Amino acid sequence: MEPPRIFELQARGNDPNQRGFLLENARRYDEAIEQLRRVIAVDQNHYQAHWMLGHTYAVNGQFDQAIAAAEKAVALSERSPGALGMLGMIYGLAGRKGEATKTLKELIELNERRYVTPAALVYVYTGLGDKDQAFIWMEKAYQERSNFIAYLKVVPVVDPLRSDPRFDDLLRRVGLQE
């Protein structure tokens, strides 16, 4: 069986999923969505492309599409914490607080049995509008030196937190702001 074309592109340093990520961080949402759809057309089981597509739809205010993409990512990843966190965030942003809270509960219970990236909980708490809890988990991510922290300056998922002075403090401690 021949490997999907996406692996060939990645091997040459031309990762189309990464391009979608970069376009989203540049706030070029329509282009990012188009790019990520192309990735999925080549590999319908590309978990990260579905995850990023859900995220991009969400920050673009397209919640029905975001939920569908995030639910697909959760299924493909076998309910990975990162995918669950993104789905919970999207539920919260879409006003589906009950489903967001249920997802949050699942993550907290999972965290008692195995490692759950703090970013997953930041996502859900951000979607629920609970800035205090989002910052508690961002601080935990900082203490763990999570790679999530490296993207704080650019990722749209944390836009609702940017106006809080704790955000600038965290950026300064990370070295992303003077």
User: Hey, what's the torsion of the CAs at 23, 89, 135, 154, to 10 degrees?
Assistant: 0
Using 50, 70 and 90 to split pLDDT, how confident is the model at 14? low
Whether domain 5-174 has CATH 3.40.50.2020: no
Q: Using the predicted structure, report yes or no on whether residue 130 has a pLDDT greater than 90.
A: yes
Query: pTM for this structure?
Result: 0.87
Quick one: what percent of the chain has pLDDT higher than 70?
Answer: 91
Instruction: Single out the residue of 162, 143, 154, 134 nearest to residue 21, CA to CA.
Output: 154
Mean pLDDT of the chain: 90
